[in-house]
Amino acid sequence: MNVIYKITYPNGKIYIGQDVTDDITYFGSPNRDLIENDFTRDQKRDFTIRKEIIWESETASIEEVTKMEIEKIKKWHSNDPNIGYNRRPKFIE
């Protein structure tokens, strides 16, 4: 199963990614430093994130999954640094 997921962090910021294996333990590869800088040491002691599947397909090609991921990033504005942790495609104000 191919999926597009949305991760929501405790500060409300989001990250959208794709997984072509539908692995429950996969949480993407957002920029670690961006997330690290948004939380204090104390906040990191009890840290809960939410992973939601926002799109899925049994038949989509990798190209179609990538296209859908970009569409979802734009729709949710997760590439806007004030909203999320995606850095591609580049956010244009």
What is the DSSP track for 16-72?
EEEESS--TT------HHHHHTTS-TTGGGS---EEEEEEEESS--HHHHHHHHHHH
pTM value > 0.75: yes
Confidence of residue 45 (pLDDT cuts 50, 70, 90): very high
Between 9-13, 14-18, 19-23, the lowest mean confidence (pLDDT) is in 19-23
Average pLDDT across the chain, whole number: 95
The CA distance from 71 to 19, in Å, is 15
Confidence of residue 27 (pLDDT cuts 50, 70, 90): very high
Domain ranges within the chain, ordered by starting residue: 2-76
